Structure 1
Amino acid sequence: MIKKLFKGIIYIILLALIGYCSIKIGKLIKYKHDESKLQTAENIEEAANIINTSLEKKKADSVSMFIKNIDESKLGEINQYLPSISGSVDSYEIYKSSGKTKVKFVIRQNASTYVYNLLTSSTPIPANNPDADKLYSRVLEIVNKYTYKNMPDQQKVLALHDYLVDTCEYSTGNPNNDNEFRAYGALIDGEAVCSGYAEALTLLLAGAGIKSDIIIGSAGNEPHAWNLVEIDGNWYHIDSTWDDPKGMNVVSHAYYNLTDDEISFDHVWQKGGSKKASSDDLNYFKSSGTIYYTESDFSTTVNILLQSTPKNYLEVAVKDVDIKGCLNELMSASGRGNLTYTHIDRLDSTILIIFK
């Protein structure tokens, strides 16, 4: 899991590997049982997908499957690929039967799971779970403060996304601090890695009555997590981690409400199923009218917006224009001798963050 490489006058490079909870390795056992209904995973991502699908259908204490062509020593990394909102792997046992390898993954629930179940199915949090109780109270506090009953869903999602990006700091991940990988770290401690951001947004949206999934994939050839969110009947990708560029103190929307094609520019995941993100109706820059197609429109409008915004930066998008030409036009229109900015290349546009 890595942060986006931002290019321009400001360069930020951040590489952070997603961590995972320690997993107990089970002993090798000969096993014989009715295994006709078990699925077979041929890579670690498929194994995680089988676990997640099983947990979405029903609560389970364990999930079993056959594995093929998977290095057994890599099974301890399964939580890197598992959306832990449904539960995470606590331990596993390996069985050998008729030349096949079967693995039984033992599942544990955590504070995020308990809170999610309470928000979505009214399942009470088990007794003696103070972290879950605290996390639940925090989710309700944020949702009640930043959204209201008849607020349109698209405004709710934007408000909760912006809150999360503004208040959480990206962490490089301490394997000894499980909170950094959970929603608890993002919403209580204010520090998390990508899985914590994704969990936190899922809980906040659930508290606001909005459906979302956690996508486990990769970005920059490293494991990464982000969200798939349903707004007004359409699904959109939101990567709140990459919308929080470390060290810049900005709330970006470069990875907000993207289609499958748009986020595929630099994110990879196992596609399939019925949840397709194909609409760009709520693309942040399209819906806010801050995407520009000519240098003259850019310089005139952006100069006005840059002077009027209460923030110390302005975020806009440009398409089919010369960026240097746009910035030169802006400097001429504003009377400035220089500009501090960064830019983020997208599939068919460029996002500019220009500082005052």
Structure 2
Amino acid sequence: MKKWLLCGATLLMLSPTAAYAQQEETKSVINPVVANSTVTTWEQFTKELIKKINSFETDINITYTGPMGDFKKEIMAAFDQAKKQAVYASGHMESTTISADSLGNVSYTIKYLTNQTQEAAVQKKIGQVLKNIIKPTMTEFDKVKAINDYIVSNTSYGTKTKASPHSAYALLFEGQAVCQGYALAAQAMLSQSGIETKYVVGFVNENEAHAWNLVKVDGKWYHLDTTWNDPLPNRIGAASYDYFLVTDEVLKKDHSWIQTDYPAASSTKYSFMHNVHFAYPLNNVVYFSNTADHDKLYKLEMATGKKTKVLDKRALYITGMGQNLYYSDYSNSGYLTKLNLKTLKAEVLVKQPVTNLKISDNYLIYNMNAKEHKLPLSQ
């Protein structure tokens, strides 16, 4: 019996071969490790490999009993195809070793950035989150926005995690990760919401490895970079949309990727979302800080995409409750300000610079002089 060691190299952390998955094949279902499998065709071999990779199995053993042909080439081709289909799991691959013998026994030893226990928790968490943020009446645009907003508003970019900061687990359970964790979490959440998506790898700042997503909305492809939609340094509750449903032309200003490996994104339908920061939605209107006009307070009518200036004031850290907006007025030293949207009457609540405004349990929470403060709000 002859035995071959076909591959013992460490894979790229961003797993670029994982970019071509179809939506229905990106869902990770965690199953217990099963016994060795025996198959008779390479199609069966690849399907079995996909199933085991999607289950995050670390030791995969498959026996092939069909015509041998170019055995070594077929083994590697099956692995490459499996990674393209098992996008979410293969995006978590750190290294792999492939060995085989002349009897058709093939072994894949894979090291992941996560494990089956963590991934079971991820799937449960995603199910809970999607139940809360995705509604049956939502359009595909609404779903993508809800997922972007959840990720950006509840996480921060960083590496101080117990789990690998490159994993979706770290992002969802420890609140921070690097771009790979953002993109993989988005990949899982989008696909499980019925949005066709692709995991993209490329570069930013010329040579810095980066990952993001392509999403198909109403039949058109767009780029979505949740990492770069999350302000840095982190701002609690703040989301931006400069990298939300953008075209190739917009993204390639500061991103690069092998464009022939991915579908083209050329639709400008959602360009009205750009320059929207610190967004506060009220009915079908979004109040926001317009970065294209010195952070002045604007409103965006979601039905039409029309933007209108509300106040000639620089409003940051915008939040709200009912018909009242709360923000840091940077036209007035960053003072905490309340705006009645019916009368457009502004009232200074705190004559100190404040940041990181958010509302929780009828309290307006903000930072002032490096300390957190609470202000009770009436309904």
- TM-score w.r.t. the length of structure 1 is 0.54
Aligned position for 1:285 = 274
Q: What is the DSSP-based 3-state SS (H/G/I as helix, E as strand, rest coil) of the residue aligned with 2:229?
A: coil
- 1:256 aligned onto 2:244: yes
CA contact (8 A) 2:94 2:112 kept: no
Distance in 1 (CA, whole Å) between partners of 2:110 and 2:5 is 25
Matches of residues 18-167 of structure 1 in structure 2 within 5 Å?
49-50=16-17, 58=47, 59-60=49-50, 64=76, 85-86=89-90, 88-92=93-97, 106=108, 108=110, 129-167=116-154
Offset at residue 137 of structure 1 (A): 1.3
Aligned position for 1:303 = 312
CA contact (8 A) 2:165 2:171 kept: yes
Aligned position for 2:38 = none
Moved over 6 A (4+): 54-57, 286-299
Deviation string 1:1-32 (CA, Å, 9 cap, x unpaired) is xxxxxxxxxxxxxxxxxxxxxxxxxxxx798x
Q: 1:222 aligns with which of 208, 227, 233?
A: 208
Aligned position for 1:353 = none
CA contact (8 A) 1:228 1:236 kept: yes
Distance in 1 (CA, whole Å) between partners of 2:160 and 2:211 is 14
Distance in 1 (CA, whole Å) between partners of 2:297 and 2:142 is 27
Distance in 2 (CA, whole Å) between partners of 1:173 and 1:145 is 28
Q: What is the DSSP-based 3-state SS (H/G/I as helix, E as strand, rest coil) of the residue aligned with 2:159?
A: coil
Offset at residue 263 of structure 1 (A): 0.6
Instruction: Specify the code of the residue in structure 1 equivalent to 2:249.
Output: D
- 1:270 aligned onto 2:258: yes
- TM-score w.r.t. the length of structure 2 is 0.51
Offset at residue 156 of structure 1 (A): 1.2
Deviation string 1:73-99 (CA, Å, 9 cap, x unpaired) is xxxxxx9xx96533525323699xxxx
Aligned position for 1:169 = 156
CA contact (8 A) 1:147 1:156 kept: yes
CA contact (8 A) 1:212 1:230 kept: yes
Q: What is the DSSP-based 3-state SS (H/G/I as helix, E as strand, rest coil) of the residue aligned with 2:226?
A: coil
Q: 1:209 aligns with which of 194, 205, 229?
A: 194
Distance in 2 (CA, whole Å) between partners of 1:294 and 1:48 is 39
Compared CA separation, residues 259 and 137, structure 1 to 2 (3 A): same
Instruction: Specify the code of the residue in structure 2 equivalent to 1:285.
Output: H
Offset at residue 254 of structure 1 (A): 1.4
Distance in 1 (CA, whole Å) between partners of 2:293 and 2:152 is 30
CA contact (8 A) 1:226 1:241 kept: yes
Distance in 1 (CA, whole Å) between partners of 2:220 and 2:274 is 17
CA contact (8 A) 2:18 2:199 kept: no
Offset at residue 180 of structure 1 (A): 1.8
Report the count of equivalent residues: 243
Q: What is the DSSP-based 3-state SS (H/G/I as helix, E as strand, rest coil) of the residue aligned with 1:303?
A: strand
Equivalent pairs: percent with the same residue? 24
**Gapped regions of structure 2 (runs ≥ 5):** 26-45, 51-59, 61-73, 78-82, 101-105, 277-284, 299-307, 329-345, 356-379
CA contact (8 A) 1:243 1:252 kept: yes
How large is the RMSD of aligned CA atoms in angstroms?
A: 4.8
Q: Which has the higher helix share?
A: 1
Aligned position for 1:194 = 179
Deviation string 1:310-338 (CA, Å, 9 cap, x unpaired) is 37669xxxxxxxxxxxxxxxxxxx9x9xx
Distance in 2 (CA, whole Å) between partners of 1:188 and 1:297 is 34
Instruction: Specify the code of the residue in structure 1 equivalent to 2:128.
Output: E
Q: What is the DSSP-based 3-state SS (H/G/I as helix, E as strand, rest coil) of the residue aligned with 1:138?
A: helix
Distance in 2 (CA, whole Å) between partners of 1:286 and 1:235 is 20
CA contact (8 A) 2:165 2:177 kept: yes
Q: What is the DSSP-based 3-state SS (H/G/I as helix, E as strand, rest coil) of the residue aligned with 1:162?
A: helix
Instruction: Specify the code of the residue in structure 2 equivalent to 1:208.
Output: S
Offset at residue 246 of structure 1 (A): 2.3
Q: Which has the higher strand share?
A: 2
Distance in 2 (CA, whole Å) between partners of 1:340 and 1:254 is 25
CA contact (8 A) 1:54 1:63 kept: no
Compared CA separation, residues 109 and 207, structure 1 to 2 (3 A): farther
- 1:234 aligned onto 2:247: no
Which segment is superposed worse, 178-187 or 281-290? 281-290
Deviation string 1:263-284 (CA, Å, 9 cap, x unpaired) is 1010111111462110010231
Q: What is the DSSP-based 3-state SS (H/G/I as helix, E as strand, rest coil) of the residue aligned with 2:210?
A: strand
